[in-house]
Structure 1
Amino acid sequence: MTPLMSDITVNGETITAALIASEAQNHPAPRSKPGMPWMAAARALAFRALLLQKARSMGLVPEPRQVAEGQYETDEEALIRQVLDVALDPAEPSQQDLRAAYEAAPDRWRAPTLYEAAHILFPVRPGDGAALATASTAAGAVLAELQRDPRGFERLAREHSACSSRDNGGRLGQLISGDTVPEFETVLDELAEGSITPEPVLTRYGLHIIRLDARAEGAILPFEAVAPRIREMLEKAAWARAGREFMAELAREAEVTGITLVAA
């Protein structure tokens, strides 16, 4: 087994343990697998070295592009992009490919679902355990009152909600898919129309008591309307496959010590 915390080499080029340790800070560290960030960092740096070596062998000169206002690629980032631009040439998806992707999962191409909902918000900053406990007590008391008299929702929203919608009795108006955070929208998809959540719902904004007034699932869109989106999806998938194959080929042809880049 290759030991952690050691230098690796890629075609004779050394990548030091110190550099790998620095890069490892950018990779997740599951408690059960403390060595995972190190291995991920080592592989990332090894593949970066392979791409830059390939750029040099191709005689490429860096041509940095602007990636944001006042921000440009580094020379190394530009070289890696240029290598991939030259090396990757996946086939364009055909009209038949587009049609097959559409027919394989037509539900994927629906118009947005429409919702009419109301909520009562008890704000909590992420990670603030004391505030969460306080909000849970307050939300529980309001929810208990709603369970006795659901018709009191608007009054309770005006009295307790920290959202500006309180002035409208908690009503959020008409929402479409994507208007709310995923954890909130998941509840909107699961609630029966006219019902109130049996427990407060935690999102990044705090605890919510949610009432769903109406839901209208979007119709499946015609193929012609979504063909450009399907083409973009297939092009991205093809580019990703081509990239993986190209990197695997570089790894197979390389002399690497200290880490395994290609499975046996």
Structure 2
Amino acid sequence: MILSVNGMAVAVEADALPEFAAARELLRQRAVEVGLLDAAVEDEAEIDSTIEALLEKEVATPVPTEAECRRYYEQNPTEFESGDLVHARHILFQVTPQVNVPQMRARAEEALNTLLAEPDRFAAMAAELSNCPSGEQGGNLGQVSRGDMVPEFEKALFKFGASGILRDLVKTRYGFHIVAVDQRIPGHRLPFDVVQEQIAARLRSRVEEKALRQYVSVLAGQAEIEGVQLEASESPLVQ
């Protein structure tokens, strides 16, 4: 591919986008134009750091106000909720290609019936029967949140009202599980003060990205570029 910016040939790495290479060359040339960089400099790290200095100097990005952050917080409530948690234990009867599945299920059902009658034996039976490393800790999985486990296991854990030793086996791709839900910690919405900085950083990142696109568009509108099409504008007010 032949790529040039204002008559300057631009090399494009095998795994790089030509648009990125052209934009970088535009910025390098602008840095030379405003006296931040000597045109003879070839050191890539020096060029990159100078481009950063150029953007800091010429691309202004306002800091989001508290009102803007609060508006984002109110409009996106689910983004700032701590997830539900459960403390859970399990005993896994693992199913492998060599396993007699009906026999394994029967063994798991027998163990479940025993535990429903004698729940205090859970830790001992986990150590004896479970094919999961957690068996060594009495089957303890610790705190589990949504997304931590495979969907079929998660569905059983977070089923409304599920607590204690579940009365049915939970079947997953790994086998049959006896599951105990020991404690639930409902999720809650995080206070605005806790997430304000996070919101401000997110909004500032969006503004910076838009401002950078606009800046490169203006440079592209004033340049002669061959080999790639960059969005170009002669106006600094491009949207």
Instruction: Compute the TM-score of the two structures, normalised by the length of structure 2.
Output: 0.68
**Aligned partners of 1:119 and 1:157 also within 8 Å:** no
The answer as to 2:180 corresponding to 1:244 is no
Q: Deviations over 1:178-197 (max 9, x none)?
A: xxxx5627667543235665
CA distance in 2, matches of 1:135, 1:252: 63
More displaced 10-residue stretch of structure 1: 134-143 or 43-52 = 134-143
The answer as to 2:18 corresponding to 1:23 is no
- Correspondence 1:97-176 to 2 at 5 A: 97-118=68-89, 136-137=96-97, 141=101, 144-145=105-106, 148-149=109-110, 151=112, 155=125, 158-163=128-133, 165-175=134-144
Q: Any gaps of 5 or more consecutive residues in structure 2?
A: 39-43, 116-121, 234-239
Give identity over the alignment, percent.
25
Q: Deviations over 1:47-95 (max 9, x none)?
A: 1111111111121149xxxxxxxxxx81122122112211221122112
**Aligned partners of 2:221 and 2:232 also within 8 Å:** no
CA distance in 2, matches of 1:81, 1:121: 54
Partner of 1:10: 5
Give SS of 1:198's match.
strand
CA shift in 2, pair 1:58/1:168, >3 Å: same
CA shift in 2, pair 1:148/1:119, >3 Å: closer
Q: Any gaps of 5 or more consecutive residues in structure 1?
A: 1-5, 25-40, 63-72, 123-133, 202-206
CA distance in 2, matches of 1:75, 1:52: 10
Give SS of 1:184's match.
coil
CA shift in 2, pair 1:88/1:150, >3 Å: farther
Partner of 1:47: 23
**Aligned partners of 1:121 and 1:208 also within 8 Å:** yes
1:200 to 161, 169, 173: 173
How far has the Cα of 1:96 moved from its partner?
Answer: 1.4
Give SS of 2:229's match.
coil
Aligned residue pairs, count: 209
**Aligned partners of 2:91 and 2:135 also within 8 Å:** yes
User: Which has the larger Rg?
Assistant: 2
How well do the aligned residues superpose, as a CA RMSD in angstroms?
3.8
Give SS of 2:202's match.
helix
1:74 to 45, 48, 51: 45
CA distance in 2, matches of 1:218, 1:242: 37
CA distance in 2, matches of 1:183, 1:108: 18
CA distance in 2, matches of 1:239, 1:210: 51
CA distance in 2, matches of 1:188, 1:81: 48
